[in-house]
Amino acid sequence: MNNLSLIIILLVLLAVAYQLGMQRSRKLAGGQNSASLHSRPHHYGMMVGLWAVLPPFFIMLLWSWLSPAVIQQLVLASLPTEVLNSGEQAQVLMRRISNLATNFAVLSEAADWEINAANYLGALQQKSGLLLLALMFIVGALGLLVSYQKIRPSLRARHQVEKALMATLLICSTIAILTTIGIVLSMVGETLKFFSFIKPTDFFFGTTWNPRFSTAGVADGSLTGSQGSFGLLPLLSGTMLVAGIALLVAIPLGLMVAIYMAEYAPKKVRDTVKPIIEVLAGIPTIVYGFFALVVVGPYLADLGQMLGLTIRATSALTAGVVMGIMIIPFISSLSDDIITQVPKALRDGSLGLGATKSETIRKVVLPAALPGIVGAVLLAASRAIGETMIVVLAAGNSPSLTANPFEAVSTVTVTIVNQLTGDNDFASPQSLVAFALGLTLFVITLLLNIVALVIVRKYREQYE
């Protein structure tokens, strides 16, 4: 009896209870006229349904959360003492036993005690399933009967239903907070584990990034496995270099597009061109990465050759230019909104004094819109810093402290991907460093976003 079929049974129960409750309330009201009832008949139905379904549902959740641990304890307790004292890990033992119980193939011949334990496990699981079913049935039936009996015309069924609904809505809206808490807790926890291997100062101010592998030197005993240097600075400089190039591409283009769209373009042009440029924002970043790798990179390398420069095909420049293309729509749409919000009186004043349109824009509109535009740029910058796939494919993945845009670099995001998708042990500093990097990234983007939001909000209030 798996959880899915239990849920289906509960849904059927819900439908039955709903019908029963509705019919009883109709009957109490005297058939055709339900005006004597406090609530509408379907409220009574819903109330009975909730009483019949919610308690068993919670029991099911609790059960599937607690029962595996209880069963494991029972099975482990039943094992012969010499097995328990052999020093093998409980989890390894349990995995083998549960594989046996589900007729999965296991390596090597199964010992007698293992087969016994597997049978015991199977019996326990069956018992637990039956017990759960019985318990759910009793509680559900009880809920149904009691609430069914309680139906009176004066019963405030609607209030009960609405309270349950409010609770659901409230729970859903706390998911966002739970997610943030989850992000912070998980990353802080793993980061602290990482700092037990590596000193924070070595991480934040280290200038070399060479984590090696978690198994390097362990086999021959020459190293302890936690060797390697985890300096953040080369990665941070790579990130800033790529994001800086991206902004250099995107700010002039995005801003000029926004100005043209807001101030000059006829409505027809605006209505067709704006969605086309916004298509750029919807394209998956892996597509940009591929574009950078096969088109932009080789093109830039050829261009460099023509000019007598050595530009690598995968370099900070390649990744930065393509990322710049990606964030054009962020800057152009946000700035467009902000420029159109500048009050018309400011423009009229300037034009009335004899300024040309471009003078009005440059000397009146843009200064007025500046805080908002800065906010937009900061949001785009945080997007660029957190971007992953373009840099994974096109930045060259070479963690070195360089300011030369024609060289290959590595970024924080690339390194997170490399460290977590390699063959490293999950508990080694080589893997844990990904969480320290992630936390750094999270904090940087969070600060940028908060500053940007505060600036944009201040600006909005100014003209409202």
Partner 1 sequence: MKTVQTSASSTYSASPVQQQVVRSLKKRHRQEKLFRFAGMTAVGISLLLVALLFINIFSKGLPAFWQHGIELEIHFDPAVVKISEQPVLQAGESPQAFEQRHLAWRSEVGMVNFNRLIQDALLKVIPDGAQHRRDLARIVTSGERFALRDRVIANPAIIGQTQKLFLLTDANIDVWLKGNIDRSLPDEKQQLSPKMREWVESLKAEGVIQNRFSWALFMNPDSRSSLASAGLAGAFMGSLYMMLIVILLAVPMGVAAAIYLEEFAPKNKFTDLVEVNINNLAAVPSIVFGLLGASIFIGWFNLPMSAPFVGGLVLSLMTLPTVIIATRSTLKAIPPSIRQAALGLGASKTQAVFHHVLPLAIPGILTGAIIGVAQALGESAPLLLIGMKSFVASVPSSAMEQSTALPVQIYLWQGNELRNFFEARTSAAIIVLLGLMLTLNGLAIWLRRRFEVRW
164-193: contacts with partner 1 (CB under 8 A): 165-166, 168-170, 172-177, 179-180, 182-183, 186-187, 189-190
Q: Which is nearer to partner 1, 140 or 289 (CB)?
A: 289
- Contacts with partner 1 in 73-112 (CB under 8 A)? none
Q: Which is nearer to partner 1, 51 or 330 (CB)?
A: 330
Main-chain phi, psi angles of 64, to 5 degrees: -70, -15
* Binding range to partner 1, per CB under 8 A, among 119-127, 228-236, 335-343, 379-387: 379-387
- Among 382, 397, 410, 424, the residue binding partner 1 under the rule CB under 8 A is 382
| Helix 366-386 with 429-463: angle, nearest 10 deg | 160
Angle of CA points 151, 152, 153, to nearest 5°: 130
Output the smallest distance, CB 265 to partner 1, in A.
8
Output the smallest distance, CB 358 to partner 1, in A.
4
Output the smallest distance, CB 113 to partner 1, in A.
25
Instruction: Find where tokens 């919807």 sit.
Output: 282
Q: Which residues pair with 409 in a beta bridge?
A: 396
Q: Which is nearer to partner 1, 48 or 161 (CB)?
A: 161
Full DSSP string of 25-52: HHHHHTTT--TTSSS-HHHHHHHHHHHH
- Among 113, 195, 290, 406, the residue binding partner 1 under the rule CB under 8 A is 290
Output the smallest distance, CB 442 to partner 1, in A.
5
- Among 75, 144, 389, 395, the residue binding partner 1 under the rule CB under 8 A is 389
All residues at 6 or more sequence positions from 113 whose CB lies less than 8 Å from its CB, including other chains: 79, 80, 83
- Among 84, 131, 256, 370, the residue binding partner 1 under the rule CB under 8 A is 256
Q: Which is nearer to partner 1, 144 or 245 (CB)?
A: 245
Q: Answer yes or no whether residue 460 interacts with partner 1 by CB under 8 A.
A: no
Output the smallest distance, CB 401 to partner 1, in A.
23
Q: Which is nearer to partner 1, 144 or 455 (CB)?
A: 455
- Among 18, 63, 209, 435, the residue binding partner 1 under the rule CB under 8 A is 435
- Among 93, 155, 240, 293, the residue binding partner 1 under the rule CB under 8 A is 293
Instruction: Find where tokens 């096109």 sit.
Output: 394
Q: Which is nearer to partner 1, 364 or 441 (CB)?
A: 441
Q: Which is nearer to partner 1, 8 or 131 (CB)?
A: 8
What is the three-class DSSP state of 230? Answer: strand
Encoded amino acid at 464, one letter: E
Output the smallest distance, CB 334 to partner 1, in A.
12
Output the smallest distance, CB 416 to partner 1, in A.
6
Distance of CA 316 to the CA centre of its chain: 27
CB 462 within 8 A of CB 338: no
Q: Answer yes or no whether residue 233 interacts with partner 1 by CB under 8 A.
A: no
76 burial level (CB within 10 Å; 0-12, 13-18, 19+): middle
- Contacts with partner 1 in 311-340 (CB under 8 A)? 325, 328, 332
Residues comprising the chain, all counted: 464
Q: How far apart are CA 195 and CA 2, in angstroms?
A: 42
Q: Answer yes or no whether residue 385 interacts with partner 1 by CB under 8 A.
A: yes
Output the smallest distance, CB 99 to partner 1, in A.
15
Cα Rg for the chain, rounded, in angstroms?
A: 32
Q: Which is nearer to partner 1, 138 or 283 (CB)?
A: 283
Joined together, the tokens standing for residue 234 give 């080369």
Full DSSP string of 302-364: HHHHHHT----SSSHHHHHHHHHHHHHHHHHHHHHHHHHHS-HHHHHHHHHTT--HHHHIIII
Binding mask 337-376 for partner 1 (x = CB under 8 A): -----------------x-xxxx-xx--------------
Among 180, 146, 174, smallest CA distance to 160 is for: 146
Binding mask 190-229 for partner 1 (x = CB under 8 A): x---------------------------------------
- Among 77, 92, 279, 345, the residue binding partner 1 under the rule CB under 8 A is 279
* Binding range to partner 1, per CB under 8 A, among 10-18, 215-223, 399-407, 411-419: 411-419
Q: Which is nearer to partner 1, 117 or 392 (CB)?
A: 392
Q: How far apart are CA 440 and CA 438, in angstroms?
A: 5
Encoded amino acid at 175, one letter: I
Q: Which is nearer to partner 1, 219 or 276 (CB)?
A: 276
Full DSSP string of 149-166: HH--TT--HHHHHHHHHH
- Positive or negative torsion for Cα 378, 382, 383, 388: positive
Full DSSP string of 274-287: HHHHHHHHHS-HHH
